[in-house]
Amino acid sequence: MNDNQISNPLLITSVQNPKIKQLLELQQKSSARRQSGLFVVEGQREVQRCVNAGYELDTVFICPEYCKKSFAAPHAFAVSPYVYEKIAYRGTTEGVVATVVAKPYSLADLRLPENALIVVLERVEKPGNLGAILRSADAAAADAVIVCDPLTDLYNPNLIRASVGAFFSVPTVACTSEECIAFLQEHSFRILTAQLQDSRLYYDTDMRGATALVFGTESTGLTPQWREAADAHVRIPMLGVVDSLNVSVSVAILLFEAVRQRQAIQG
């Protein structure tokens, strides 16, 4: 255990401790995350994936009763089980919560291969949906996720938690729709919008070249600027009484169709 890891730390036993109050504020307020440049990661697996991806830990809070693993950080504190249960969403299952230095990506930071596969989301508002989409993007080896005109903070703890660490493996960029469309067109992406109107079945659509799969909200769909910018409109057949799927499910279906088509070329 090195000097930066927990070594005879003062045990925090009260949620009134200033460090705990700061942590709770980072969990609850996007303004606090923006001002401090820090966000919160919970869980041994998620913190380790964060470190593996090159993110810098700022402070680690470990409950020794639940976590025997140590993590290098400039600041480290032990917390009592009572305090840990107040700061952790998952109760006693993991034993570690960390604050992490934000490392936001921009479109200019993306380093994409020749036939890149990108997911674009317009005005996504539910952190859990975005986290689930990042899991699918990681599983399908997508090259980036671009969130246009976001209605949720990309460092929302619910998003990080729902992604099960995939947030750290898939480059995720927030920008305006106008900026994204210009970027995709400049880099010769084929823009495929998921929509019911004026569309063809997704498995009849070529996704083998540089492809951007674009999704809107479940309630209102995509705005006209995306429909007009699209090279093709695609849909998933709906054979029951409902007319739409959860957006994270739709993303997974189209992503793995792209994977299937690309593997067919290789095989």
Reported as a single tens digit per residue, the pLDDT across 8-32 is 457 999 999 999 999 999 999 999 9
- Residues of the chain with pLDDT > 70, as a percent, come to 95
| DSSP calls for 153-202 | -TT-HHHHHHTTTGGGTS-EEEE-HHHHHHHHHHTTPEEEEE-STT-EEG
Residue 112 DSSP SS3: coil
Residue 257 amino acid letter? E
* DSSP line for 117-157: EEEEEES---HHHHHHHHHHHHHTT-SEEEEES-SS-TT-H
- Beta strand pairing status for 75-79 and 38-42? unpaired
pLDDT tops 70 at residue 162: yes
Quote the pLDDT of residue 6: 42
Rounded Cα distance, 254 and 260, in Å:
10
Per CATH, 11-101 and 107-266 having the same topology is answered: no
State the pLDDT confidence band at 91, using cuts at 50, 70 and 90: low
What is the CATH superfamily name and number for domain 11-101?
Ribosomal protein L30/S12 (3.30.1330.30)
CATH number of this structure's domain 107-266: 3.40.1280.10
Higher pLDDT: 166 or 266? It is 166
183: Cβ contacts below 8 Å, ≥ 6 apart:
107, 175
Percent of the chain with pLDDT over 90: 84
Q: Where are the domains of the chain?
A: 11-101, 107-266
202-250 per-position pLDDT tens digit: 999 999 999 999 999 877 789 999 999 999 999 999 999 988 899 999 9
For the chain, what is the mean pLDDT?
Answer: 92
